[in-house]
């Protein structure tokens, strides 16, 4: 395994002597992989126990909603890491990672990074990673401009999580409105409009999103 300059300058390896890097990478079960532009590094729904460290090129972190539309939610260049929260929290990926250019990436096993650390450190990093995911999820929905878009973002995420178009949500209307930082009655109206337009169906806390083909039956 070669030690490239972007490793030593990476925040992940800050204050680690270059001489120690080789053995450290060995400990981390480091695997270097190269991707051509347009190739998938990780796909939504997969599980990973490794974080990614970009060696060269750029990767895009993207999110795909229930209806298939994509948006870039982050970039990572040389020295930057990705997927660390999912790996540490032990949760399936909610984003996909795409090579925006030809890229080389190092995948490092997080579990072995914590060996010799004791259970406490594992718990602490897991807590941080989970909080991270919780915040990211909420942010994703709240960043949308309109109540309608916030709703669709949230409901789409629930559908993806459940693995199908039908699911129950764990909040009542007021709680959901607070979570999305919108007005309850306006949200209720937006929900009604979406139902009328054939985008979704719902009864109480049970929702069903409709594929374009199913709509307007």
Show the tokens assigned to 177. Answer: 């409105």
C-alpha closest to that of 130 among 154, 80, 94: 94
186 contacts DNA (rule: CB under 7 A): yes
For DNA, the closer of residues 30 and 152 by Cβ is 152
Number of residues interacting with DNA: please give it, by CB under 7 A: 23
Phi and psi, residue 113, nearest 5° = -65, -25
Q: How far lies 163's CA from each of 33, 141, 156, 176, in Å?
A: 29, 19, 11, 21
DSSP state of 168: E
Q: Residue 108 forms beta bridges with which residues?
A: 51
For DNA, the closer of residues 91 and 149 by Cβ is 149
Residue 61: its H or E element: strand 59-64
What, of its own copies, DNA, none, does residue 208 touch, CB below 5 to 8 Å by kind? Answer: none
For its own copies, the closer of residues 110 and 200 by Cβ is 110
Binding mask 111-150 for DNA (x = CB under 7 A): ----------------------------------xxxxx-
| Residue 58 contacts residue 76 (beta carbons within 8 Å) | yes
For its own copies, the closer of residues 60 and 150 by Cβ is 150
How far is it, in rounded angstroms, from Cα 210 to Cα 96?
Answer: 23
What, of DNA, its own copies, none, does residue 120 touch, CB below 5 to 8 Å by kind? Answer: its own copies
Residues near its own copies (CB under 8 A) are 11-16, 24, 28, 81, 84-85, 88, 110, 113-114, 116-125, 127-129, 131-132, 135-136, 138-139, 142-145, 181, 183
Sites of contact with DNA (CB under 7 A):
145-149, 172-174, 181-192, 202, 204-205
């Amino acid at each position: 395994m070669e030690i490239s300059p972007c490793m030593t300058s990476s925040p992940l390896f800050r204050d680690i002597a270059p001489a120690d890097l080789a053995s450290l990478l060995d400990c981390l079960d480091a695997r270097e992989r190269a991707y051509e532009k347009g190739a998938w590094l990780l796909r939504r729904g997969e599980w990973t126990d490794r974080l990614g460290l970009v060696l060269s090129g750029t990767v895009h972190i993207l999110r795909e909603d229930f209806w298939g539309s994509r948006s870039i939610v982050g970039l990572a260049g040389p020295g930057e890491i990705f997927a660390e929260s999912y790996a540490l929290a032990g949760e399936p990926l909610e984003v996909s990672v795409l090579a925006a250019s030809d890229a080389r990436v190092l995948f490092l096993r997080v579990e072995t990074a914590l060996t010799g650390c004791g259970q406490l450190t594992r718990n602490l990093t897991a807590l941080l990673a989970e909080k991270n995911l919780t915040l990211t999820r909420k942010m994703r929905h709240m960043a949308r401009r309109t109540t309608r878009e916030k709703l669709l973002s949230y409901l789409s995420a629930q559908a993806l999580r459940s693995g199908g178009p039908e699911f129950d949500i764990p909040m009542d209307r007021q709680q959901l409105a607070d979570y999305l930082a919108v007005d309850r009655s306006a949200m209720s109206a937006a929900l009604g409009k979406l139902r009328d337009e054939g985008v979704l169906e719902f009864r109480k806390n049970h929702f069903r999103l409709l594929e374009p083909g199913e709509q307007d039956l």
